[in-house]
């Protein structure tokens, strides 16, 4: 099986980083014409999907964190590192992180396209056997396109396994409208996935997609469509309904673990009690994270790539999450130095320190969807859809707050109006999902990027906040624009 997986991964070599590559034939012996789609081979093919998403040691886990630094929860520690600092200061350029992430997503998409095409056309196995494997590919393809439209806006929507036409059969391949990518590709893919995926992931943990993962992603998609740029507010009701299905109707019952810190322990990383879907990293088996020295501050001998935003930290409520998520002092020699006296005057992030921190690559988990997020999606979406919170919305929000308060109730006031309740949910989402690459997307869809970034004088003083809505989406890779004749995103 290892041989099959390695061969399968070559399907995405050199894919889609230029218009020339878009028209090349697949470079693998594992094509729909040469592989037998028996269950063993289908399992091997979809087992390769997390590896393609991961990409490399500084691939998805690294690029996602750096490209979401425009949020207000994490800052680029190294001012001298223009790769991350420009993004943090809302002054994005079409650099390596942008082009690598774009290429990585299309590598995953082509791999999924070939799996979907091969399985759907195969007569080697029954529909009952092959549909769950095909559903995994649909899930990953939807996830890739969901990241692409949120980061880049209009993008090429390709379902052709040979990348010769877009999803409408057009050639040459140009950019498709964001709404079309959502309605014609992302939503149908996730609906297929929720129909055929198992109640629990194929490996009985969070590392493979389940019905719950598809529903959680679909709820997130609907919530995003309700906000900027589409502003299809009728989607709030659909987001609430889909999140409620995860809460009440999935075969595998998700719940909040009792201790927030347990979610981030290496020994628990595959557990699917609360983590609905995640990437499980292994430095030993070529699936490393970058949670090592990238997250250590200078005083610890680290690279200081990522630190907690100091203003976000000071605004953070005094609960058990705050105790766990941040490091407030570092021992330098024999002296304990508080974070305000560190070189960057920002607290180091503690969330990802149980995975081995002495090297550039480590173990750990990249969370994609957690049950806590689903609860907050429901609370936000239902309140917006009905212009006021119902009892379940209150319960969802208060359950998250209770866990954060050490199991002691910390309910929000009763009788809140729509805007008052929404602000509580908005804040809670930021606290709960700190440093999980979620805050940027939240600020963008709610059009509050400037409002929250200007709370940090470092960013406001740099002059990159006012009138920066152009930075709600990233610039397209310059190589794509030049070679394919695409129009660059506004302002770049």
**pLDDT tens string 265-295:** 999 999 999 999 999 999 888 888 888 889 9
At a CB cut-off of 8 Å and minimum separation 6, what does 380 contact?
Answer: 223, 239, 422, 425, 426, 429
CA nearest neighbour of 161 among 124, 103, 106, 102: 106
The pLDDT value recorded for residue 94 is 62
β-strand pairing of 329-332 with 306-308: unpaired
Residue 188 CA from chain centroid, whole number: 19
**Residue 172: how many other CB atoms lie within 10 Å:** 13
- How is residue 209 written in tokens? 């997609």
Q: In this structure, what token pair is assigned to residue 41?
A: 């081979």
Burial 111-137 (b: 16+ CB within 10 A, else e): bbbbbbbbbeebeebeeeebbbbbbbb
Dist. CA 474–CA 492, nearest whole Å: 9
Q: Give the predicted TM-score (pTM) of the model.
A: 0.92
Greatest Cα pair distance in the chain: 69
Strands annotated E in 68-189: 74-76
In Å, how far are 29, 146, 385 from 179, measured between CA atoms? 36, 11, 20
pLDDT for residue 463: 61
d(CA 419, CA 243): 21
Per-residue CA distances from 31 to 11, 115, 160, 228 (Å):
8, 9, 13, 40
Q: How far is the C-alpha of 305 from the C-alpha of 457, rounded, in Å?
A: 19
Between CA 194 and CA 135 the distance in angstroms is: 8
Q: In angstroms, what is the C-alpha Rg of the chain?
A: 22
Identify which of 10, 11, 15 has the alpha carbon closest to the alpha carbon of residue 163: 15
pLDDT attached to residue 7? 34
Percent helix, percent strand, percent coil in the chain, to nearest 5? 50, 5, 40
Cβ count near 164 (within 10 Å): 15
Contact 137, 74 (CB under 8 A): no
Vertex 26, ends 20 and 30: CA angle to 5°?
170
Contact 324, 330 (CB under 8 A): no
Give pLDDT, residue 413.
98
Tell me what pLDDT residue 32 has.
Answer: 43
- In the chain, which residues have pLDDT < 50? 1-29, 31-32, 81-85, 89
Which CATH number is correct for 1-76+92-196, 3.40.50.2300, 3.40.190.10, 1.20.1260.10, 1.25.40.890?
1.25.40.890
Domain boundaries, the chain: 1-76+92-196
């Amino acid at each position: 099986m290892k041989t099959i997986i390695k061969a399968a991964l070559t399907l995405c070599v050199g894919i889609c980083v230029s218009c020339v590559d878009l028209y090349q034939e697949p470079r693998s012996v594992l094509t729909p014409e040469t592989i037998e789609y028996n269950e063993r081979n289908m399992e091997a093919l979809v087992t390769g999907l997390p590896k393609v998403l991961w990409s490399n040691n500084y691939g998805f886990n690294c690029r996602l964190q750096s490209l979401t630094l425009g949020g207000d929860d994490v800052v680029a520690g190294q001012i001298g590192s223009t790769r991350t600092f420009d993004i943090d200061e809302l002054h994005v350029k079409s650099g390596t992180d942008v082009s690598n992430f774009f290429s990585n997503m299309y590598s995953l998409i082509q791999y999924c396209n070939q799996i979907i095409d091969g399985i759907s056309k195969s007569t080697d196995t029954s529909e009952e056997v092959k549909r769950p494997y095909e559903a995994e590919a649909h899930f990953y393809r939807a996830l890739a396109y969901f990241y692409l439209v949120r980061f880049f806006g209009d993008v090429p929507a390709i379902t052709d396994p040979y990348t010769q036409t877009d999803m409408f059969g057009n050639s040459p391949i140009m950019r498709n409208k964001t709404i079309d990518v959502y309605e014609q590709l992302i939503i149908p893919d996730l609906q297929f996935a929720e129909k055929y995926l198992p109640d629990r992931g194929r490996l009985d943990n969070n590392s493979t997609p389940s019905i719950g993962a598809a529903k959680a992603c679909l709820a997130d998609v609907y919530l995003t469509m309700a906000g900027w740029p589409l502003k299809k507010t009728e989607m709030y009701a659909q987001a609430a309904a889909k999140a409620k299905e995860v809460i009440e109707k999935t075969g595998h019952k998700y719940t909040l673990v009792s201790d927030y810190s347990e979610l981030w322990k290496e020994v628990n990383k595959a557990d699917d009690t609360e983590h609905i879907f995640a990437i499980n990293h292994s430095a030993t088996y070529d699936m490393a994270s970058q949670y090592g020295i990238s997250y250590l501050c200078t005083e610890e001998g680290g690279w200081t790539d990522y630190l907690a935003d100091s203003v976000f930290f000071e605004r953070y409520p005094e609960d058990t999450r705050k105790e766990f998520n941040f490091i407030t002092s570092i021992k330098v020699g024999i002296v304990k130095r508080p974070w305000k006296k560190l070189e960057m005057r920002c607290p180091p992030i503690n969330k990802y320190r149980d995975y081995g921190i002495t090297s550039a690559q480590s173990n750990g988990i990249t969370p994609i969807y957690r049950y806590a997020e689903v609860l907050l999606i429901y609370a936000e979406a239902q309140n917006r859809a009905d212009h006021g919170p119902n009892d379940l919305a209150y319960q969802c929000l208060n359950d998250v707050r209770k866990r954060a308060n050490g199991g002691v109730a910390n309910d929000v006031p009763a009788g809140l109006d729509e805007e008052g309740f929404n602000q509580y949910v908005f804040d809670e989402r930021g606290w709960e999902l700190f440093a999980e690459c979620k805050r940027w997307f939240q600020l963008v869809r709610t059009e509050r990027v400037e409002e929250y970034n200007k709370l940090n004088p470092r960013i406001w003083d740099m002059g990159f906040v006012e009138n920066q809505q152009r930075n709600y989406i990233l610039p397209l890779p310059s190589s794509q624009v030049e070679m394919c004749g695409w129009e660059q995103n506004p302002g770049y």
